[in-house]
Amino acid sequence: MSFIEVVPENHFSIQNLPYGVFSSADNPKHRIGVAIGVEILDLSVVLSFLPPEVHDALKQPTLNSFMGLTPAAWTSTRNSIQKLLSAHEPSLRDDKQLRAKAFIKQSVAVMHLPADIGDYTDFYSSKDHATNVGIMFRGKDNALMPNWVHLPVGYHGRASSVVVSGTAIRRPCGQTRPDETQPPVFGPSKLMDIELEAAFFTGAGNELGSAIPIGKAHEHIFGMVLMNDWSARDIQKWEYVPLGPFLGKSFGTSISPWVVTMDALRPFRIPGPVQDPTPLPYLRHDDPFSFDIRLEVAIKVNRCCHLECTRLDATMAVTYRLHLLDTLQSKETNCPPKKQL
C-alpha cells in the first residue's frame, strides 16, 4: 500500500506504476514520471533514491535511453520506486518539502509521447479480427489467408503519425471505389473505423542481421500501451492490393501516454491458445506469455450516447514473444510493434 491515496477504481496503484513523459505550466521541460493514483511522481526530483546506473537515462526527455537498459535495471528501478512510495517508508512520505517538489496532479500535467518512435510494426493477431476484415475485403470464402496460421503477419506503419492520446485526428481523403462498375473517386473517407489494440515498446535491440532466439525475446520487451489504430476502410479496401495498407491506415495512430511495464503485467500471464498447426521450431515456446487483460471501449455518439464493450486479450492467437521475434530481426530499438485486439 502507498501513502498516496489510490481509490479502488483508479488503475494507477503501487502495483502498476506506469512510466510516462510530462511537462507542466511552470516547467515546460519534458520529464519522466510515474503515475500513482491521481498524481505523477517526477523521477528527476527523486533520483537519489533510485539505482545510480539509471540516473542519466531518467534525466532524458523520453524513455528511449531507459528502455535501452537491461531488464535487471528496469526491475531494480521499479522496486526502488515501490519502496519509496510505500506507506511504511518515511523518506518521501514525511518530507513535506520534497513531496511538494516531487508530485504533480495528473489533471494539470501535459502528457507527451513516451518515446521517440523510429519505427513500428502492425501485427494481425486476432483470428476474429483478421477474419472479419477479410470478409469485408475479399468475401467469406477467402477471408483468412493461408499464411496466417503459420507466422506472425505484420506490416510497417507510419511512425511519424503516431500521436499521444487526445490529439485530434483529421478524417483522411483518398481514392475509393464505392461502385465497382465505375472508376475510383477522390474525397474524404466515409468508412472511418477504430481498432482497440495493445502495443508494446521494445528495449535493447539487436545488430542488423543477428537473430534473437525466442527464449530470450522477453528480455527485449519493456512495456505496453493502449492503442487506437484509426482506419479508413473504404480507402484501405481500394489501395491494399498488392502491397498492403497505406493511406487508409497511416493518417493517425493514437497511443496512451502511460507505458505499463512487463513487471507489472507478470501476474496476469496466462497460457496462450493452442496453435494449430504447431509453429515451426523457431517460433515455439512453452512458458505462458499471453496476458489476461480486460479492455473497454466507450463510443460517444452525438455528444450524448455511449456504447461499451469488453474483450479479453486471451483470445490472441500469437504471443508477444512471437511478435518480437519477427520484428527485431532487423529493426531499431524503442519501436512499438503492436497486435490487434
Pair 117, 218: CB distance under 8 Å: no
CB 140 within 8 A of CB 221: no
Closest CA to 81 of 53, 39, 51: 51
- The C-alpha cell 460517444 sits at 300
Pick left, alpha or beta for residue 322 (phi over 0 → left; psi -120 to 50 → alpha; otherwise beta): alpha
25 residue type, one letter? A
Q: What are phi and psi of 228, to 5 degrees?
A: -115, 110
Pairing of strands 338-340, 121-123: parallel
Q: Which three cell numbers stand for residue 264?
A: 507489472
Helix, strand or coil, per DSSP, at residue 28: strand
Strand partners, 116: none
Count the neighbouring beta carbons within 10 Å of the beta carbon of residue 119.
Answer: 17
Identify whether the C-beta of residue 127 lies closer than 8 Å to the C-beta of residue 100: no
242 prior amide bond cis, ω within 30 = yes
3-class SS of residue 38: coil
- Give the 3-state secondary structure of residue 27: strand
Strand, helix or coil for residue 68: coil
Residue 156 annotated to the active site: no
CB proximity list for 93: less than 8 A, separation 6 or greater: 3, 87, 99
Cα separation, 39 vs 165, whole angstroms: 18
DSSP, collapsed to helix, strand or coil, labels residue 211 as coil
The residue type of 223 is G
| Per annotation, catalytic residue among 11, 129, 218, 306 | 129
User: Strand order in 27-36's β-sheet?
Assistant: 103-105, 39-42, 27-36, 19-24, 110-112
Catalytic residues: 129
